[in-house]
Structure formats: structure tokens, C-alpha cells
Structure 1
Amino acid sequence: MRIMELLTDDPQPPGEAVAGPGPGVAPAPASRLRTLLAAALGPLVTGYAAVATVLALVALTAGRTAFSGTGVLLAAGPGWLAAHQVRLDIGGHPLGMLPLLPTLGVVTLAVRTASGAARRLGCRSFGEAVPVLITITGAHAVFGLVIALCAQGSPVTANPLTAFVVPGLLAAAASAAGITRSCGLPDAVADRLDPLALRGLRAGAMSLAVLVACGAAVFTVATGLSWATVSGTYEPGFGTSSGLFLLSMLYLPNAVTAALSFVTGPGFSIGPLAVGMFGYRGGAVPAVPLLGGLPEHHAAWWPALLVLPAAAGALAGWSLRKVDPDPAQRIRTVAVAGAVVALGCVVLGTLSGGRLGDGPFDPVSVPVGVASIVAFCWIVIPGSFVAFFAGEHEPPAPPPEALEDNEAFEDADDIDPEEAAEAVEELEASEEDEELAAKDAEFEAEADAEPAEVTPEDGALSRESAPGEDGAVTGGTETCGDVEPDETDR
């Protein structure tokens, strides 16, 4: 019992989980090397094993085929390249339309690997985690090159340069996202990134997710309404049906992207078939369950679906209505969100289409340029309208006289009612003091003035103007200057 207690004793205090060295704590060189080696080989081994497992299931369930473990392992190499969006040549025929579901899987795996490695190494900033980025990127690029070189001369080949560059770029983007998740943005980006632009980036990611959800909803409804056609594409036999189902699942994100392009307006094309919101051109399509919901002709009610991207733009504007009191800044943030959506449509449209051999269904394409511009407009126009009218507006600027007389009220949001009342009383008291001081100055000026001297000539009354007994003024030039002082006093 004592041995079991020692083996199961937790050296950590209760309530604390065992973790890595933590941010800022450098691990030992041997531990650092093991972490980088695991980050380099982990996604490669896991991805290769996943592709080999899928191929083994297909080989086991397919009819009239002999299972070979060596053949599965050899075929898993080109499958790994296809999962990383490397174009293949099958018997001299190009295959550029590759499934997106495995690509999403390998990207997620690289993101989680880079994030975990950065945490275990105790990286505090993006710069400290650069070795993780270089290790994962270099491992994917070299592994792709090795597979392409080993496949030379086989029925399935790939361009070595493409096999080196494309997996490396994909791994670099995924690793950078994982490191940013753990350590934050690079200092060079964080110092120059406007907070409003960051809000726009987040709103753009949300809007892109909403548009993808709209495309998925339309695709699901169309497939459900055409279930009879979808079920008719399955052939008898478990192996063939399971293979068609697996193929449809692998290409499901491609179909959702095509539905997204249809919902926003431009549409998509499969060989001669072209499906758009305002146009339709018929043509043959592959007999797979994934394409069972494709329409056979144009419908007049299709433009009603444009309310979905308009609602996505309005939602983006509503989410950004409080980012800034200035309407112009809100509209600028909505424009950033629209740019993110446009870039996302370019990436998804580019990866979803491609060459499909040299047959009647080649190529499968989404009009990337038109789709990105239209998606940008669907976000910016309704979003700007909602952000402008649903948000706050700055009050008009007061006249200069009001600013001079009320310097204490420059910031109206921070005014305390009691302080405002005291300021008003002080202002009224100062005006009264100014009026009293002006009046005192007038009185002092009158008091300090010298009295005018009265001369005998000015102060004597002429007899000419002396009033008579009847009250009339009589003439005369005699004055009253000879009146005695005593009589005057009396």
C-alpha cells in the first residue's frame, strides 16, 4: 500500500493541474529538441496514417479487388499530397479538384500541434515561437518533396516543386495561426493594428461563417428535396455504395462553397453545366450522391435567396454599431469586415474547383473574382447602412463663445450634477460682482469730480430775468449782487 501511495502521489498542490514549464520558463535543451521533433513528425505521421486508413477501408469494402497493405501504403503518399491540395496527374490526366475535408483536417492538426508546442516551450511572444513555425513548415515541405520524388514513374505523379511549396505554405499558415492562438499577434503587427481594424477582422470572420452556413443550409434543403434522385445514384452493393458515400463526404465542403457562390449570385459550373442566380445552362453531371440536388432548370424564385447574404451584411453592421461614436469610423470597420469576407471567398473558391481529368465534367470552377466582389458588396452595403443608423451619432460642436464661457464643461460625459450647479452659481455670482464693481466705479468717479466754481456773474440774477409780482419775467440789468449776507441768511 505504501508503494502505491508513492507511485500515485501528486507533487502538485491540490487543485493545480500539471502543465508545461509555463510562459517565460525555458525548457532543457533535450526537452526542447524533443518538443520540436514531435511538432515536426506528429502531423506527418498522423496525416499519413489517416489517409492510409481511409484507403484501406475503401479497398476492403470495394468489390472484386484484392487488398494489399503495401499498395495501400504506397497509395497513401499521393493521397497525403491531395489532402494538402497538390495537383496530381493520374495516367496523364490532371486532377486539380481535390477534396477540402481532408485539407481542413490537416490544417486543424497543424494548428493544434503548433499551439501545443509553443506552450510547452514556454514561448511568451510570436518571435520566441518562430522555431516551431520553421520546424513544422520545413517538415511538411520536405515530406511533400520526398513523396513526389518517390512517385515518379508510377501511375499517380505530382510536380516536385508544387509538392514542396504548397504543403509548406499550408503548414506555415496553419502554424502561424496556432502560434498566434498561444502567444498573440507578432509585435510588428500588433503595434500597427488599429483596434477598430481588429474588430473588423473578427466581424469579417463571423460574416464569412454566416455565409458558409447559408450555403450549407441551401445545399441541405436542395439535397433533401431531391432525395429520390440522390438515392437513385447509389448502386447495389455495400462496397460501391460506401465508396460513393465516402467520396461525397470528402467533397462536401466543396459543394457547400459552390452553394455559397450560388446564394451570393455568381454561381458555379461543372463542365458545360452552369448554375447561377440569374442564369442556367444545362449539362451532364457525374452520377454521385453529392450532386443529386442540382436543379434541372432555372426557377423564378431563386432571387429571393439573396435575402440571406443581405441578412449576413446587416448582422455584421449590427455587431459593429457600437464600436465608435463616429459613423465614418463604423463604416470603415464594416469595410474591413467586407475585405475579410472577400478574401475568404477567394481562398475557398480557389481550393474548391480545379481540373477534373479531360472528360466531359472538366473543369469545375467558381468565378472567384466576381464572387469575391459580390460578397464584399453584400457585407459592406447593408452593413454600412445598419451601422450608420443603428449606432450613436456625435452631438454638434458648440460655438466658440460657449466653449470660452464654459471651459469647465468640455467633457459633457464626466459632468457631475452637483458640480454643474456649483459652477452655475459661481458664474452668476461673478456676473453680479462685475455689475456691482461697475456701479461703484461710477459713484467714485462722480465723487472725485471737482465742484464747479460759481462766479458773481454766473450766480447773480439779472433784473431783466427777475420775475415780477405777477409771475412774469421782467427786463432789467440790475443784479442781486448787493444783497447783504445777513439778509440772504434770513
Structure 2
Amino acid sequence: MAKWTPMNKNTSPQSRSTPRPRSQARGRTVRAERTPRAPHPSGSRQSSGSAQRVARKAGSKAKARRTPAPLTKAGRIRRMLVTAAVPNVVIALIIMAIALGGLMLTGSPMAWWYTIVAEAWMVFNLAPVSAADVHISFLPALPALILAAVVAVRVRSAIKHKVSVKDLLTLLACVLGVPVVFTIIAWLMLWDAGKVYDVSPPNLAQALLRVIVLHLAAMAAGMGWRLWRALAKRYGVPRPLVDATQIALRYLAYLAIGAAAVFAVVFLVNVSRQGEMMNDYPTISGLGIAGLVLLSVLYIPNAIVSTAAVLVGSEFSVGEGSVSLFSAHLVPLPPLPITGGIPASAPSWAVALLIVPLGAALYSLYKKRPSFQDVLVATVASAVIMLVACYLVSGVLGYYGATGPQLWTAAGLTALWLAVVGCAVAAGFAFVAWRAARTAPGASPADEYADEPAAVADEAPTEPERDPITDPEIVDAEVVEDEPEDTAPDAAAEEPEEEQKEEGAPAEEAAERPEEAKEGDERGVAKPLSQQLKDQMGESEQDSSSEDSPEEGERG
């Protein structure tokens, strides 16, 4: 007999629970499978709304990251000072390194290093230099152009996200103040070196003026059109003024491209003269030739601006000599390869090159559809910009004297080309707009036939007079409403002419009587309701007469 053992709560089969899945035993729960829901009618709208919310949230976070922290006055000055000082310090360090390397290669005294650095800084900022009683302010513009481009990039990186008016004023003071301080230091170095060496400091006022103009132009270029439009909106300046200035810059850019192409062609045509000019240096070495070629490359921006001035009708002068599209009178030129591109005489076909400023003005104005106000502002802006460019690339060239394009003549003729072409283009677009407004659908018949004879006006179909409508939306709505009234329905167009002439024969009654429709189909035309009633009455009378006829026969 088996021994009885007591059962407790753990060993009782009733108390033992059903084995659970492994996932539940380990503390995890398995979700029951849900039946897929039917797609909501506005599911796409909800998804697009959620995507917009996510994008808006990400954009706000990115904007918060880009937004600079509030700065104090000292912090703002320190930040803008670093922005403006970096390009000037980098250029100064490059000049120092090159000057030191040149002195070590040539074995020259190291005491010349300060003088070379100061003179090179003046050259990079287009400030005049003086040595051995020779004054030169007609300097190569390519180094200054590189410096201005670097300054503009730095300004753009500092204000491209968020900037205030105080930040702009602080940045402007730093952009102009740093190079002015460096120029004064270089002037003092030259003044001190003049006590020992045959050098002299230039006119300080002229040097500072060129430095300020150069860096102010770099600041204006680095701000960008978006910031200029925002400033114009803030201070109530009409936005067309900014757009017109952009037209002037486009015109000058196209003119510069055309001038560069013309100068390249003339340079290649006169390549034989460059060999003759190089023969003037019989004992020059290969290093000297490389230096002359490099100096000619640095003068390329000067050549482009001077060629542009000649193309608009002005002239380029070298001391007593001058060159224009109409005549040329040259003196012995400096022995540089780039001066070999200056023609000794003006050919008769050179006047045809006036098409270059004409094409530049047309191409810059055609796509903008300018008004007369835009043309006026663009004309003034082009004159000012051309005057500044000619001022920076002209000056005194040693014993030759004044060299470069004629300032006022070049600026005036450049603006004159844009003014004449711009007025013609604006008048053309104004005339086209006037003709389009006159022949528009909303024009009244009286305006349309005002210039025609009375006989022609009488032959025209008369329409009921209506008040003129000026709102374009009302005109569109009226056209939509008039379409159903002017065009007949398709069902009515398919009906025969006889059926359309009858009154009281709708198509629905004919469709409700299939037997009558069949009879009408046999005859080819469906009968109207009145005719059908008459036919039924006639049939009933015939039936009654036929029923009465045998009786009458019997009686007879």
C-alpha cells in the first residue's frame, strides 16, 4: 500500500498554474496581434502635418544653434576686431616671410627688411611709394584685389547668419581702422628708414584715402545683396534703388569681360612688339625676365579697367602719350611685356568696338524690365563705381607723370551709355505694357473703336453696356458663369430641329412611355403629347363605330 504524503500549496495539481511562455516567464509580455486599421481618410494630411512639425522643430533647433549668444560691448568689439584683423595680419606675415627669404637668397643686409615690408604693405593697399626721388602711385592692382577679396569673405562669414546695426557699425570701424593703423605704422617705418636709406614716406593723406576707399569697397561687397535689401527696408529706402545698383554692377561686369577679351586679342596681335621690347635688356638674366613677366601679370586689372575706359570712348594716357578708339599718340613706354599690347596707332575699324558697351548695357537691362527711375539710379551708380575703379588704377608713374584712364571722362561716358540704352529699353517696355493694357479683354468697346471710322463702328455687333470691371478675379468669375449660357447642352444639340420647334415635348415624358416611343420610332419622329391624345380619341371613335355597324346592317 502506497504511503500517503500530504500535499502542500506547491505540490497540489490544482494550485499549479498553466505553463507560461518563456517570454512571460522572464518578465516580458507579448502583445496580442492587432488587426490592421483601415487607413484614415486624412492620413496623408496627418503625415504631412507631422513632417512639417518635425521639420519646423529641427529648423528652430538649427536656428538656435546658429544664433550667437548676446555679447557685451567689449565682446562685440573683440569679435569684430578679430574678423577684420585676420586678413591684414595674414598679408603682413606673408610679406615679412617673402622679404626675409629674398634678403637671405640675395645676401642683402637685414636692415633693409623693415623698409621692404613697409613698401610692400603700401603696394598691397595701392598707397603711393617713393624711393630715390621717384614717386609711383600707378601701382599693380592685383595684390590689392586679392586683399579686398579676402576682407570681403571674412565680412561675409561674420554677418551671414545674424547681425544687428551695432554689429555692422562695429565691424565697419574695425574693417577701416585696422588697415589705417597698419598704414600709419608702415609710414612711420619709412620715415625712420629715410634717415639712413634713400627712401621717403609718401603723402600720408593720399595713402590713407586709398586705403579707406579700398577697404570700404571690400566691406560693401562682403555685406551682400540680402543685407543691403534688409537695411533699405529698415530705413525706408525704396528697394528698387538696391536693384538698380545691382543692374549697374552687372553692366560694369559685362563691360569688364568685353574689355578683357579685347585686350587679349590686341595683346596677341602685337606679340612681335613684346619681343622687340625685351631686346632692350641685352644683359638681363632668366630671373629678371621672370620678374618682368610677374610684374606684367600684376598689372592685368589695370589693363582691363583702362581698356574698358577706352571702349566707352574715353582715353588712356601715359604722360604726354594717349590712346583711344579714334587716335593714338605714344611716347617710349616702360619696357614691360604688358605695354607691348598697346597699339601704336588706332585702326579705322576700331570705332566698331563701341558695340561692346552697347551690348553690355542691353544685356544687363533687357531681363530686368527697368523703369525710368531704375535707369536713373543705375546710371548714377555706374558713374560712381567707374570713378572709384579708375581712381584706384591710375596715378603717377615716375618720370612719365600721370598715367591711367581719364577719371571724369571715363565715368561720364560709362554712365551715358547706360542712360541712353536704359531709357530706350524702359520706353520700349512701357510702350509694350501700354499696348497690352489697351488690348486687354477688360477694355471697353468705346476705347477699342475710338480711333476707327463711324461706319466701321456701326457694323460692329452691339452689346449691352456694362460697367467697367477692374478686379481681375471678378472678370474670371464672370467668364466662367457666362460659358453655360453661351453654349447649348449636348442633349439639346442632338435633338432634331422639328422636335426643338415644338413646345411642351420634354424628353422625360417621351422616355416614360415606351409604347408611344416605339410608335414614334417607326414613323421616325416622336409625337408630342397633344398629338398623342388626339390619336387616342380618334381610335376610340373608330372602335365605337365599328361596334355599331353590324347592328345597323341587321336593321337594314
1:383 to 414, 422, 431: 422
1:237 to 285, 294, 301: 285
Return the letter of the residue paired with 1:141.
V
Per-residue Cα deviation, 1:121-153 (whole angstroms, up to 9, x for no partner)? x64334433222222322221221121112104
Return the letter of the residue paired with 2:258.
C
Task: Please name the residue that 2:407 is paired with.
Answer: 368
Rounded Cα–Cα distance in structure 2 between residues aligned with 1:333 and 1:38? 38
Unaligned runs of 5+ residues in structure 2 are 1-56, 448-464, 486-556
Rounded Cα–Cα distance in structure 2 between residues aligned with 1:45 and 1:375? 37
How many matched pairs? 398
CA contact (8 A) 1:207 1:337 kept: no
C-alpha spacing 1:160/1:298, structure 2 compared with 1 (3 Å): closer
CA contact (8 A) 1:265 1:277 kept: yes
Q: How far apart are residue 169 of structure 1 and its match?
A: 4.5
The secondary structure found in structure 2 opposite 1:26 is coil
Return the letter of the residue paired with 2:297.
M
Q: Does 1:206 align with 2:250?
A: yes
CA contact (8 A) 1:203 1:316 kept: yes
The secondary structure found in structure 2 opposite 1:277 is coil
CA contact (8 A) 2:229 2:242 kept: no
Task: Please name the residue that 1:79 is paired with.
Answer: 120
Greater RCO, 1 or 2 (C-alpha within 8 Å, sep 6+): 1
Per-residue Cα deviation, 1:428-480 (whole angstroms, up to 9, x for no partner)? xxxxxxxxxxxxxxxxxxxxxxxxxxxxxxxxxxxxxxxxxxxxxxxxxxxxx
CA contact (8 A) 2:114 2:189 kept: no
Per-residue Cα deviation, 1:180-228 (whole angstroms, up to 9, x for no partner)? 5684456367543323322211111000001111111111111111122
Q: How far apart are residue 425 of structure 1 and its match?
A: 11
Counterpart mapping for 1:209-224 below 5 A? 209-224=253-268
C-alpha spacing 1:345/1:177, structure 2 compared with 1 (3 Å): closer
Unaligned runs of 5+ residues in structure 1 are 1-12, 324-329, 427-490
The secondary structure found in structure 2 opposite 1:265 is coil
Rounded Cα–Cα distance in structure 2 between residues aligned with 1:21 and 1:30? 22
Task: Please name the residue that 2:335 is paired with.
Answer: 287
Task: Please name the residue that 1:419 is paired with.
Answer: 478
The secondary structure found in structure 1 opposite 2:292 is helix
CA contact (8 A) 2:248 2:378 kept: yes
Rounded Cα–Cα distance in structure 1 between residues aligned with 2:191 and 2:478? 84
CA contact (8 A) 2:130 2:200 kept: yes
Task: Please name the residue that 2:381 is paired with.
Answer: 340
Q: Does 1:306 align with 2:354?
A: yes
Counterpart mapping for 1:325-474 below 5 A? 330-357=371-398, 359=399, 361-390=400-429, 392-394=432-434, 395-396=437-438, 406=466, 409-411=469-471, 413-420=472-479, 422=481
Task: Please name the residue that 1:26 is paired with.
Answer: 70
C-alpha spacing 1:407/1:84, structure 2 compared with 1 (3 Å): farther
The secondary structure found in structure 1 opposite 2:191 is coil
1:144 to 183, 186, 193: 183
Rounded Cα–Cα distance in structure 2 between residues aligned with 1:337 and 1:33? 35
Q: How far apart are residue 253 of structure 1 and its match?
A: 0.8
CA contact (8 A) 2:311 2:354 kept: yes
Per-residue Cα deviation, 1:234-256 (whole angstroms, up to 9, x for no partner)? 45422111110111111111111
Q: How far apart are residue 418 of structure 1 and its match?
A: 4.3
Counterpart mapping for 1:82-101 below 5 A? 82-101=123-142
**Greater radius of gyration (CA):** 2
Q: TM-score, normalised by structure 2?
A: 0.63
Q: How far apart are residue 67 of structure 1 and its match?
A: 4.5
Rounded Cα–Cα distance in structure 2 between residues aligned with 1:415 and 1:34? 60
Rounded Cα–Cα distance in structure 2 between residues aligned with 1:125 and 1:226? 54
Q: TM-score, normalised by structure 1?
A: 0.71
C-alpha RMSD of matched pairs (Å): 3.6
Task: Please name the residue that 2:152 is paired with.
Answer: 111
Task: Please name the residue that 1:483 is paired with.
Answer: none
Q: How far apart are residue 164 of structure 1 and its match?
A: 4.2
Rounded Cα–Cα distance in structure 1 between residues aligned with 2:239 and 2:205? 40
Task: Please name the residue that 2:320 is paired with.
Answer: 272
Return the letter of the residue paired with 2:268.
G
CA contact (8 A) 2:232 2:238 kept: no
Per-residue Cα deviation, 1:149-174 (whole angstroms, up to 9, x for no partner)? 12104214223444445424433442
Rounded Cα–Cα distance in structure 2 between residues aligned with 1:261 and 1:55? 35
Q: How far apart are residue 372 of structure 1 and its match?
A: 1.4
C-alpha spacing 1:356/1:21, structure 2 compared with 1 (3 Å): farther
Q: Does 1:159 align with 2:208?
A: no
Rounded Cα–Cα distance in structure 2 between residues aligned with 1:299 and 1:20? 64
Q: How far apart are residue 37 of structure 1 and its match?
A: 4.0
User: Which 10-residue stretch deviates more, 275-284 or 151-160?
Assistant: 151-160
Q: How far apart are residue 294 of structure 1 and its match?
A: 1.2
